[in-house]
Structure 1
């Protein structure tokens, strides 16, 4: 019978040598494969970097060229406009300086020569002076036309050039104009010119400056080539450029045309470059000299792109010869590393062979060690995560037992890790949700856990929140008091999911509304009350505003209807009182016959009515009726919906209408008497312009009523309450200032006065929308601005700026 030790030792030796040979071959295979892969990746890396560098640089240059092309005409327009303004400034200065000391002829000649010698930015501009009747006073590009009438000059399209210039000066005083001009001579090349003209009123001249579009393009090309010539790619790279006809504009062969020599290699490479540029650009590999035979032959990598507007191509070239040298060096380094790894592997295999012999000799000790391993495992018990080392097990039966034992350990550790992972996942979800979540101890009625959103809601630290009772964050306002909270708590304990709204407060005592869901949940084997809260303060505010808006719409409709009904009896009162005055007057001839028939002396009757104050009473009736009619008319005008259509109007009229509404406004809650406020008007009579009168009137009324209420809250009663209204204009807009001498606005409120729903007034005194709506009307609907300046104890000033021209 074979012994277990002999049998296992033979199989072990066979297995060890087979493993060494197998793994040795695999390691050698992978080492050689990795070497080949590293060589390929190194070559791809270096060549890819070279190509990426060329493409990146050329795309940057292409952006620069496109930018110059797109902005050339704009830059030229700014340039000629600036020169015309400078010429007008010089002419105006000379006219004002010498108009009293020189004759008109001398002064005109002085201005003419000054403008002729005026320093220009570049040599492609020209300056001219043209009289309104058509005489050419100055022409820097066509001096032969000076002192001649040029009204009859026509462009290639038959248009009268100078008539168009004079017409523009008459209608707009200044502006840009495009002109077509043909050269004299047999070729008669046509030029399109951009000109800017300006009317010079003292001599009724037209002063202008212009540039030729071809000259603009030519200067742009020169600037681009100058910029490209300064770019340095690397020690062996450079930028080149040329035209589609083969002329080299930038590069080693600048000024040459290789295409003329059709048999040369340079001509072939040039043709390929031009074709690639016309097709949108691309890479080209070549060997220099490609253009100039004086250069040393090296391998080059080129990339080119087109400039379609100019029929140009441009590109960059890099020396690939140096890159190939670098790649060869890298390959040699990788081969040396490969040899070192193969040598190390062979040494390792020899060492493993000696180890195999050593362990075979120690087989009996290993068998004993197997039993010792099982004994140690079972002695450690079930809490230890240490598993049996199966590398020390030599027999299948023992190995199967070790597998089962280790599987038991793995299952236990897996369950422990899953539990830990579940706890981490729960904690991450718990803290990442936007809703505030609190876990309440049902017995102690204190929070035992809260998430980050809960801490942010109430501005608390975790240590302050844990152990805190819900009553500390409740605002405790009926019906949302502790009694109602107790009823909700009892419902939740019965297993119901209780949904309710509640007013709470943060750490600073600031109240806000929350939408809450409370239900009992089993957490960690214990029954806890889980409360989820969401901030609904803004929703509550919006609901209140919608309710208030509906009320205001109903009241507005009722007021409009009442105003129409009041107009009828008012008309009767005014008409009857007017007829009483007329029919008792001795000055009306129709009254005398009837009075004589009744035996009444109208003069004595008038004397009686005067002495008894009847005439005063009748006048008072008429005055009160007229005032009531005016109030009704203002109410009707303000209650009508604005169609948001802008129309020409006077801003001071809108101010007066707002003042009239403010003075007649009546509110039981109002704490001020508008009639006791002094109104100072500092109007500068701004011209009419387009604005929506109802919207701007709403803005004025809001600001005036706010100022009046601020004056009523002023503790300084020694100073007369005053509202000052100013208007003034500048070149493009009208400015309105509404200033009071009230208590002012604190700095902490000043930055937020235009925010929606922000109000410093008490509950029910305001929605916080008045100034935000005013800001929207001024800024959004009229393209203007509204700002506020305030000093505590001195007052507040709102400044509104409305442009004359708005879309």
Structure 2
């Protein structure tokens, strides 16, 4: 609270805000308002309830706003009639009624001051038409911006959802196919078991056969990775062995045994166990073991498919930060990983993804969902620059008191004369209709304004790097809001 002084209607008349008011209105202002003098220092702080409307009579004022934990100077003026404070009070609870910046004076300064309620009443009584016009412009612009913003977010979400649906469809379809095949194999196993049960097996041979079945099931999990050439050679060997032992269509069975990691030595064990058995009984036992192997392989396929589905769902949840607080402390690699999963289809098979993660990095305090938007924009730009072919490298490391994230591509690079413009709003190098020019601008504001970090670009043909630095100590970021500066 400053020192209260005498209010002079004639002085108010010299201000551009009040120059058209009549004597009665000026007297009303002096009666319901006041003149105060403030010493150098803070008049009001950003985020506090907006209780007063200030008009500068003489002196100098500075308006600041928090950004990345620092006070950024927006306006410095000694112009008489400059105003700030609760200028949106007339909108009541339909507008933000907190100060959207901090207000300082640099020398002894005088202000005409109206309480927020008085200012609101004055606007409603004196300027009803102007008030409606202001409200229409204010809410119309805000609604238009919200609609455009929502549409852009929905378009981005639609693109990601289409990719996610495609990614989910593949393992889901594989699981359905494997389940159907598994049902057939289990039915075949029951049939062959019935044949074996009526065969001429002594208890010891039957017990050995069951033991071989257990070994077969266990062996599937330990099957070696063979090259196509190695697999073909082994299939030929096993096919010849099966045909030589009277197994009809043994060439059809051989690939399954090879896939499970079996060789002729294992088949010889089976033959030794069933030595002396009729050919039909031996063939039934071989096919029973084949069904066992196929069943295990199909169950592994189902397990892999459902695990892939679960991974995709978890990645989508991590990417969207569903049910999580906006500001949190997270492992940056979880965010990068979920973004790569969500963009897998857009990245495509022609681009090799290399992850060089420093897993010793500490967690980062951040707005996780918004950082995912940054990674999406940078990776999307990198993929577009490579036109479907190249190497995308995502690298993390520590740089002083920051975590650094590099998104690197092997595209043609950003020309030197354009590098200073790439973070400008609406600037894009993409063809008309393919880019809004807002991706890097939004990314920069998220990193700089909300996290106190920075983005820089280093580029030569074949090696372009967007480097994001995020402070490891960033308590101030949690207090940053997205309020507008209004008419201050």
Compare CA radii of gyration and give the structure with the larger one: 1
Interval of TM-score (by shorter of Structure 1 and Structure 2): 0.3 to 0.5
Where relative contact order (Cα < 8 A, 6+ residues apart) is larger, the structure is 2
Under a length normalisation based on structure 2, what TM-score does the superposition of the two structures give? 0.41
Under a length normalisation based on structure 1, what TM-score does the superposition of the two structures give? 0.26
